[in-house]
Chain A
Amino acid sequence: MLQKLFRGKKEKRAYNGSKLDGDMSKDNSEKIDSELTKTVNIFKTIYSYPDNQDVTIRNIHINGLNKDGALLFISTITDTKVIDEYVIEPLLKNQDSEVKIDDLVSVPSISKTTAIADICTEVNNGSAVLFVDEETQAYILNASNFESRGIEKPENETVVKGPKEAFIEKASTNISLIRKRIKNENLVVETQTVSKRSNNVAYIVYIKNVTNDDIVDKVKSRLHTMDVDAVQNLSLLEQYIEESHVSIFPTVLNTERPDRAVSFLEDGYVVLLMDNSPDSLVVPATFWSFYHTSEDHYLRLPYGNFTRVLRLFALFVTLFTSALYVAVVTFHVEMIPPDLLLAIASTRELVPFPALFEVLLMEIAFELIREAGLRVPSPIGPTIGIVGALILGQAAVEANIVSPIVVIVVALGGLSSFAIGDISMNFAIRLSRFIFVIAAGVFGMYGMVALFTLGVFYLVSIRTFGVPYLAPMTPTYKSSKDTIFRKMLQNEIFRPGYMKPKDMKKK
């Protein structure tokens, strides 16, 4: 229906030959007419009334003032109950002839405007507009009511201990979730329109007296330079503002947890919100922000660091197990103790493929199970598990296509990959794993180390919004040193220095 609405608008504009182009807010030259019927007719043309199903124009006679008026709104995105009770009813029942319209209607927010373009923007955002005969101003009554779901538990970033609220697809709710956590007048929520035709708005959230102005400006200028018709949500916006579009490492953090977004805000980062996105973007993101989870800090120090160690271990296991197996079996057999070597050799005896091929086969099979499991409709979901485990694991071994040890190696790597929670980093690690396997197959350990060195050189050279990717580890900055391990909360005194916050000390 909305699509139809926009399409209709576009055609009519072309027909009118008016200047109302994609970006309506830029053109404020056309004003409404003081004659009510003319004004209403203009808007009837713009909104393709009455073809457009949900566009409502309600003519009313304002008692007392003895004037005609018309109310324009889109019924599907406006709270009709509010309009009934607080706009139409007071207008109809009024007896006072001296009262102003502002004092009559009792919606919380009311403003006046004359430009047709502004009125359109407001109506498209769910406001109702009241035209009154013989007046050159229109009253904009804020009563928007977009449909969305209620606040639910986070789906991807689950924690055992800690808050269990997640962002939803409504930006105003998300801002409220943030404001609930930072009750301070310095928390600023700016808006910027990022697309021309659909007028999608991004909310730039930061703490005025903490966040460095340069970073806010950089974010704004990136948003400003975007030249697109529509950006539906943050996942798409992320790809417009990120540093390198082809790099396998993410430079913008996506989090669905308000508490996590807030902890970044408090450290001087900038958070972006948008309607239709059940998450928030944190810029700039360093490598560590992908490695950490919010629970690391909710758990007590030893427990939190224990999970960090596990995650680091999982990261290395994911990256290197398969590659190491290929390298060892192909080039460095002397590495393994003889008993184990014989065990491996005996299982590989009947397998006709080289180790590299064998491992790649299983890796791809594993990725397939993973992808298929994600896309499969939930009623037939369990089947995938059975097919995957039974056929690919058991049968492939029995058919001598792969050796049992490869199943263990790949399963271990696959399992560990789930410990890296962030989806972007998860992809980065999984993709790197394939490159490592191939490097190991070609050059053994030498290839792996060469690739690793190249990777480290690449990682340290990444800059996201001017911030080095591995900061504060290297280059060193004054910070709370929350990198591989976290410190005691009492000792986390400083905000990260690479963000150049206006206030360094947290405590």
Chain B
Amino acid sequence: MEQPQGRTGGKIGIKEFVAIVVIMIGTKITDDTTALLFKPLLNAAWMVPVINGILAIIPVALLMKVSTHYENKDLIDVSYHLFGKYIAFFVLFILWFIGFCFIVVDTAIYTDIIGTMYYLRTPSIVIYGLLMFVCAYGARKGLENIGSVAWTVYPYLQASLFVTLLITFSQGSTNFLFPLFGPGALEVIKESSFTISIYMDILYVFILFPYVNRTKDFKKGTWIAFALIAINMALALISYIMLFDYHSVAMQSYPYHEALRTINFAFLTNLESFIFPFWLIGSFVKFTAYLYINLLLFAKLVKIEQFKYLIPTFATLIVFLGLIAENPAVTMHQLKQTIAYITSPMFFALPILFWIVAKWKGEFKK
């Protein structure tokens, strides 16, 4: 695999790692993922990241145990080691394919957000093209640089989200949060488990394991990132409910951007254009990381050494696949929901499977 030049031969530190993971997964709160939660759970939707977070500890911890057991082996090598050539290839191929679908769906949705919220008259292909161009450029620079960029911009992104949340809280009503359990405590737990796939992306993070400086950093970093994501998501969901109430928020595709349009601060009546740049940077970095990890997986699967040259091809492919949907806000959202229902049990089961096989083969005793 290519090794970008630098201090550690392409490895990243804990700060960069956490920044990548948080930006990759945390930005979900600003797209239509929220709609998946609000529909069944009404005003208790904000509990999903917390409940799911607790549930997801099990698969993540098990996978962590298996994966960090082998130094210098990433998820791919580990699966080959545990499952053998054919089953591992099949599992990883499915994983890659799901990841690829996620990228197509998500980039299409983000393009739709930019198009419908800010650039009504610009053709989608132009917006989409620029988005993927930036991501392809970033992905070509390699993991070390993606990490550096993520870490450079992360504090500002977090600050911008924090400011938005603060203003939203101050302009919302706490009464909307009650009754606390919305449709009922049992219902909340049941429905939460169906949407555990919001943390699915953590699986892909394990591919980065050999590229993080130290095993300790990887373990610590994953948990820190995990906690940060859960807190950010829960807070953001609370703020949406407080601002819009559950009824109207469930009807919105992109509540984050609606919230930005609704809030105002001092003499600035429209804040969205001030926060928009930060959100955009976050989106660019997010898809750069996604694209890189997905291609890393693909390259390993089909044994391509220099996958750098694949990046422009894939980026173009994603643009054309993403443009197929006429109305991404509806169709892509439907697709996303379907994938979420399929992947949720998979996300839960796969790490457990890894662990059981490893245990059965007596790997931990070695």
The answer to whether A335 touches B273 (Cβ under 8 A) is: yes
Say if the beta carbon of A473 comes within 8 Å of chain B: yes
The answer to whether B16 touches A456 (Cβ under 8 A) is: no
Q: With A444-B119, A446-B114, A449-B281 in contact, is A334–B6 under 8 Å at CB?
A: no
The answer to whether A449 touches B284 (Cβ under 8 A) is: yes
Of B33-41, B140-148, B197-205, the stretch lying at the interface with chain A is B140-148
Say if the beta carbon of A498 comes within 8 Å of chain B: yes
Residues of B within 8 A of A470 (CB): 148, 152
How many angstroms between the C-alpha atoms of A199 and B258 in the bound complex? 69
The answer to whether B267 touches A468 (Cβ under 8 A) is: no
Say if the beta carbon of B99 comes within 8 Å of chain A: no
Of B7-15, B61-69, B237-245, the stretch lying at the interface with chain A is B7-15
Residue-wise interface mask of B (348-366) relative to A, using a CB-CB cutoff of 8 A (1 in contact, 0 not)? 0000000000000000000
Q: With A454-B137, A456-B149 in contact, is A331–B119 under 8 Å at CB?
A: yes
The answer to whether A460 touches B149 (Cβ under 8 A) is: yes
Say if the beta carbon of A15 comes within 8 Å of chain B: no
How many angstroms between the C-alpha atoms of A91 and B160 in the bound complex? 83
Residues of B within 8 A of A450 (CB): 130-131, 133-134, 280, 284
The answer to whether A446 touches B149 (Cβ under 8 A) is: no
Residues of B within 8 A of A460 (CB): 141, 145, 148-149, 152
The answer to whether B281 touches A453 (Cβ under 8 A) is: yes
B135's nearest neighbour on chain A, judged by CB, is A453
Residues of A within 8 A of B146 (CB): 457
Residue-wise interface mask of B (7-31) relative to A, using a CB-CB cutoff of 8 A (1 in contact, 0 not)? 1100011011000000000000000
Chain B CB within 10 A, most for which of A328, A338, A450, A463: A450
Say if the beta carbon of A475 comes within 8 Å of chain B: yes
The answer to whether A456 touches B152 (Cβ under 8 A) is: yes
Residues of B265-284 at the interface with A, using a CB-CB cut-off of 8 Å, are 267-270, 272-274, 276-277, 280-281, 284
CB distance from B247 to the nearest CB of A (A): 27
Say if the beta carbon of B255 comes within 8 Å of chain A: no
Residues of B within 8 A of A444 (CB): 118-119
The answer to whether B269 touches A337 (Cβ under 8 A) is: yes
The answer to whether A453 touches B285 (Cβ under 8 A) is: yes
How many angstroms between the C-alpha atoms of A22 and B119 in the bound complex? 64
Say if the beta carbon of A38 comes within 8 Å of chain B: no
Residues of B256-270 at the interface with A, using a CB-CB cut-off of 8 Å, are 267-270
B131's nearest neighbour on chain A, judged by CB, is A450
The answer to whether A453 touches B284 (Cβ under 8 A) is: yes
How many angstroms between the C-alpha atoms of A331 and B151 in the bound complex? 30
- Interface extent on A, as a size class? 20 to 34
Say if the beta carbon of A346 comes within 8 Å of chain B: no
CB distance from A42 to the nearest CB of B (A): 53
The answer to whether B148 touches A452 (Cβ under 8 A) is: no
Residues of A within 8 A of B268 (CB): 337
How many residues from B make CB contacts under 8 Å with A?
Answer: 45
Say if the beta carbon of A192 comes within 8 Å of chain B: no
The answer to whether A449 touches B277 (Cβ under 8 A) is: yes
Residues of B within 8 A of A446 (CB): 114, 118-119, 127, 130, 280
Chain B CB within 10 A, most for which of A445, A446, A466: A446
CB distance from B2 to the nearest CB of A (A): 13
Say if the beta carbon of B210 comes within 8 Å of chain A: no
CB distance from A69 to the nearest CB of B (A): 60
Say if the beta carbon of A303 comes within 8 Å of chain B: no
How many angstroms between the C-alpha atoms of A449 and B127 in the bound complex? 12
Contact of A335 among B5, B114, B270 (CB under 8 A): B270
The answer to whether B16 touches A475 (Cβ under 8 A) is: yes
Q: With A446-B130, A449-B281, A450-B134 in contact, is A457–B273 under 8 Å at CB?
A: no
Say if the beta carbon of A476 comes within 8 Å of chain B: yes
How many angstroms between the C-alpha atoms of A210 and B46 in the bound complex? 55
Residues of A426-481 at the interface with B, using a CB-CB cut-off of 8 Å, are 443-450, 452-454, 456-457, 460-461, 463, 466, 468, 470, 473-477
Residues of A within 8 A of B285 (CB): 453
Residues of B within 8 A of A245 (CB): none
The answer to whether A454 touches B13 (Cβ under 8 A) is: no
B7's nearest neighbour on chain A, judged by CB, is A475
Say if the beta carbon of B138 comes within 8 Å of chain A: yes
How many angstroms between the C-alpha atoms of A23 and B131 in the bound complex? 55
Say if the beta carbon of B153 comes within 8 Å of chain A: yes
Residues of A within 8 A of B134 (CB): 450, 453-454
The answer to whether A475 touches B8 (Cβ under 8 A) is: yes
Say if the beta carbon of A502 comes within 8 Å of chain B: no
Chain B CB within 10 A, most for which of A328, A449, A452, A461: A461
How many angstroms between the C-alpha atoms of A457 and B148 in the bound complex? 8
B4's nearest neighbour on chain A, judged by CB, is A461
How many angstroms between the C-alpha atoms of A450 and B133 in the bound complex? 9
CB distance from A377 to the nearest CB of B (A): 45
The answer to whether A474 touches B277 (Cβ under 8 A) is: no
Residues of A within 8 A of B127 (CB): 446
Say if the beta carbon of A332 comes within 8 Å of chain B: yes
How many angstroms between the C-alpha atoms of A403 and B137 in the bound complex? 38
Q: With A445-B277, A461-B141, A461-B145 in contact, is A475–B13 under 8 Å at CB?
A: yes
CB distance from B357 to the nearest CB of A (A): 36
The answer to whether B152 touches A474 (Cβ under 8 A) is: yes
B12's nearest neighbour on chain A, judged by CB, is A475
A447's nearest neighbour on chain B, judged by CB, is B130
Q: With A475-B8, A477-B7 in contact, is A334–B281 under 8 Å at CB?
A: no
Residues of B within 8 A of A449 (CB): 276-277, 280-281, 284
How many angstroms between the C-alpha atoms of A457 and B118 in the bound complex? 25
CB distance from A442 to the nearest CB of B (A): 10
The answer to whether A474 touches B7 (Cβ under 8 A) is: no
The answer to whether B144 touches A457 (Cβ under 8 A) is: no
Contact of A498 among B4, B7, B119, B137 (CB under 8 A): B7
The answer to whether B7 touches A468 (Cβ under 8 A) is: yes
A452's nearest neighbour on chain B, judged by CB, is B281
How many angstroms between the C-alpha atoms of A452 and B134 in the bound complex? 10
The answer to whether A463 touches B149 (Cβ under 8 A) is: no
How many angstroms between the C-alpha atoms of A468 and B152 in the bound complex? 14
Residues of A within 8 A of B (CB): 328, 331-332, 334-335, 337-338, 443-450, 452-454, 456-457, 460-461, 463, 466, 468, 470, 473-477, 498
Given A334-B270, A461-B4, 11 further pairs, Cβ under 8 A: A337-B268, A337-B269, A443-B122, A445-B273, A445-B277, A446-B114, A450-B284, A457-B145, A463-B6, A473-B152, A474-B15
Can you list the 6 inter-chain pairs with the closest CB atoms, starting with the nearest?
A460-B148, A335-B273, A474-B148, A449-B280, A453-B284, A332-B273
Q: List 12 A-B contacts (CB under 8 A).
A: A334-B270, A337-B268, A449-B284, A450-B134, A452-B281, A453-B149, A454-B134, A457-B137, A460-B148, A468-B148, A474-B147, A477-B7
